[in-house]
Structure 1
Amino acid sequence: MERSVFFISDGTGITAESFGQSLLAQFSGPTFCHHTLPYIDTREKAVKALMQITEAHQAEKVQPIIFMTVLNEEVSQLMHTSGAYIIDLFSTFLPGLEIELESHPLYTVGKKRSTTSSDSYHRRIEAVQFALDNDDGARFRHYEKADIILLGASRSGKTPTCIYLGLQFGIFAANYPITEDDLDKGTKLPDVLKPHKERLFGLTINPVRLAGIRNERRPNSRYSSARQCQYEVHAVEQIYRQEQISYIDTTEFSVEEIATRIMDQANLVRRLK
């Protein structure tokens, strides 16, 4: 049975959602139904949110959970009448920080002190564009500009990881899919990658999981068959071992975790100030 979880904010809701999902990920038993309600910054919006929370409570017969980042006092008070289990991030952490910093909070909705320079902003945009331009081996001539080149079988997580590396760390990441055509030439590194070997990093994945992902894209095809996925994954891993290319198994990790582990294992340095 599902249990509703609400991420409520008078801003974007990104902080409440990220914090809440990180905590919920530690619990393997319950099944959660997520509801993100951003910009709940008036009494009218708060009342509508309360109605949605009440409906979930009545339908599920179990107390909903709310992760909340709300500075609007009236909205906050209304949320606390919901009957839900509430984790209020601001009321939990701001009082202690106020004492420690000997300074009163601004209590300004949507306030986020900028710690990034315009150079970092442009680097982030350029890095994401680089990832898109150099996706799935589309171009090779820009590989010398890459901080890292991700390898792996099709649908093993290369593209979202490259984009996240660019967005979060300012890393110029390209990716190259090792396809069946490459493997037909034997389990060896494709010629186009040999000049860039020091930039290569591999991704692998459980073949069963890969088959499930591919089946969503091409149901009941040879491409998504368990046999084909097992063949490709094992062959790709053999290339990694032969060429001494570092790699990680992405099966159990989120994109954020994959990117962070790559940063660590590949000794990459964040390019954003």
Structure 2
Amino acid sequence: MPRSVFFVSDSTGITIENLGRALLAQFGDTGFHHQTYVFIDSPAKVDTVIAAIDYAAERDGERPLVFSTQADPALRRRLAGCRGLLLDPFDAFTGLLAEELGKEPQSRRGHLHGIFDRNRYDSRMAAVEFTLRHDDGALPGRYSEAELILVGPSRTGKTPTSLYLAIQYGIRVANYPLLDEELESLRLPPALLACRDRLYGLVVDPERLQEIRSARRPGDRDYASPARCRHEVEAAIALFRRNAIPWLNATSMSVEEIAAHIISDLGLHR
């Protein structure tokens, strides 16, 4: 039976889910059943979660794993009464940080994913709007406003990576699918030449590209043919090398990994 796992947060749950899933991934041969409880910010809500944890403990015959971020010390103590193994980074680290910084934590919930810095939030939303408007080669005349321009063959992950960078980091990203004439000549179009220092190339293995294109356009045999996919990937790499464009083979990478490589390679501000 999969081990029961609870993610409990007084806000959106994004932080504790990411942390918990990263830790559980180190035990890949173990099955887990996840449940997430968000905005657990009152004693009554905590008691509801405790009831669910205790029920799972009784049903499974073993302690559930409980990953929690509760900024309120009273709610943390209340949740500690459950029959699960409580793993709370606030308990683990705030005491050490308070001692080192010489001040007590403010114990306010939702700081990381709430709107506490209006300017930063507005900047992120503007980046998302810019990225949506400049998807798939649109509005190349405004590429001078982009902080990053992703280039590569069609269906190599440019759009999801662009949106992730905009949403997560507030980076204004455009993306441009390389056309047949550009892949044949290995020359950049004028709109990209003017922004060469902000270009970054993405490719995937030809076999993976064929899988993706076949799923997206099942009736278009030429678009997804093995020969065309192989040619486009090889030509794109040659174009990147000829024009000194940093590039990445993203075949086995998540969008988070791709974004981290790009930020590191180009020295972008996170």
Distance 1:251 1:2 in 2: 30
2:184 alignment counterpart: 186
Q: Which amino acid aligns with 1:255?
A: V
1:153 maps to 2:184? no
1:205 maps to 2:204? yes
1:217 maps to 2:200? no
Q: For each residue in 1:242-267, what CA deviation from the matched residue of structure 2 results, as whole angstroms up to 9, or x when unmatched?
A: 33321012233332332232122123
Q: CA deviation at 1:34?
A: 3.5
Distance 2:181 2:264 in 1: 29
Q: CA deviation at 1:212?
A: 4.3
Distance 1:252 1:228 in 2: 21
List runs of 5+ in structure 2 lacking aligned partners: none
State whether residues 8 and 16 of structure 1, in contact with CA within 8 Å, keep that contact through their aligned partners in structure 2.
yes
Q: CA deviation at 1:199?
A: 2.5
Distance 1:111 1:264 in 2: 26
Distance 2:231 2:3 in 1: 40
Q: Secondary structure of 1:142's partner?
A: helix
Indicate how the Cα distance of structure 1 residues 269 and 48 shifts in structure 2: closer, same or farther if over 3 A, else same.
closer
1:39 maps to 2:39? yes
Indicate how the Cα distance of structure 1 residues 220 and 23 shifts in structure 2: closer, same or farther if over 3 A, else same.
farther
Q: CA deviation at 1:92?
A: 1.1
Distance 1:208 1:113 in 2: 38
Instruction: Point out the more displaced range, 90-99 or 205-214.
Output: 205-214
Indicate how the Cα distance of structure 1 residues 152 and 111 shifts in structure 2: closer, same or farther if over 3 A, else same.
closer
Instruction: Point out the more displaced range, 139-148 or 165-174.
Output: 165-174
| Aligned-residue identity in percent | 38
Q: Which amino acid aligns with 2:85?
A: Y
Indicate how the Cα distance of structure 1 residues 88 and 151 shifts in structure 2: closer, same or farther if over 3 A, else same.
same
1:64 alignment counterpart: 64
Instruction: Point out the more displaced range, 79-88 or 49-58.
Output: 49-58
1:241 alignment counterpart: 241
Q: CA deviation at 1:143?
A: 1.3
Q: Which amino acid aligns with 2:104?
A: H
Q: Secondary structure of 1:186's partner?
A: helix
Distance 1:54 1:218 in 2: 49
Distance 2:50 2:115 in 1: 35
1:17 alignment counterpart: 17
Q: Secondary structure of 2:8's partner?
A: strand
Q: Which amino acid aligns with 1:110?
A: G
State whether residues 157 and 203 of structure 1, in contact with CA within 8 Å, keep that contact through their aligned partners in structure 2.
yes
Q: Secondary structure of 2:141's partner?
A: coil
TM-score, scaled relative to structure 1: 0.79
Q: Secondary structure of 1:155's partner?
A: coil
Q: Secondary structure of 1:11's partner?
A: coil
Indicate how the Cα distance of structure 1 residues 266 and 100 shifts in structure 2: closer, same or farther if over 3 A, else same.
closer
Q: How many residue pairs end up in the alignment?
A: 268
Q: Which amino acid aligns with 2:216?
A: R
Indicate how the Cα distance of structure 1 residues 103 and 144 shifts in structure 2: closer, same or farther if over 3 A, else same.
closer
List runs of 5+ in structure 1 lacking aligned partners: none
Indicate how the Cα distance of structure 1 residues 110 and 243 shifts in structure 2: closer, same or farther if over 3 A, else same.
closer
Q: Which amino acid aligns with 1:259?
A: A
State whether residues 115 and 121 of structure 2, in contact with CA within 8 Å, keep that contact through their aligned partners in structure 1.
no
1:162 alignment counterpart: 162
State whether residues 155 and 213 of structure 2, in contact with CA within 8 Å, keep that contact through their aligned partners in structure 1.
yes
State whether residues 70 and 90 of structure 2, in contact with CA within 8 Å, keep that contact through their aligned partners in structure 1.
yes
1:124 maps to 2:124? yes
Q: Which amino acid aligns with 1:156?
A: T
State whether residues 2 and 30 of structure 1, in contact with CA within 8 Å, keep that contact through their aligned partners in structure 2.
yes
State whether residues 5 and 33 of structure 2, in contact with CA within 8 Å, keep that contact through their aligned partners in structure 1.
yes
Q: CA deviation at 1:112?
A: 5.7
TM-score, scaled relative to structure 2: 0.80
Indicate how the Cα distance of structure 1 residues 72 and 240 shifts in structure 2: closer, same or farther if over 3 A, else same.
same
What root-mean-square deviation, in Å, do the aligned CA atoms of Structure 1 and Structure 2 show?
3.4
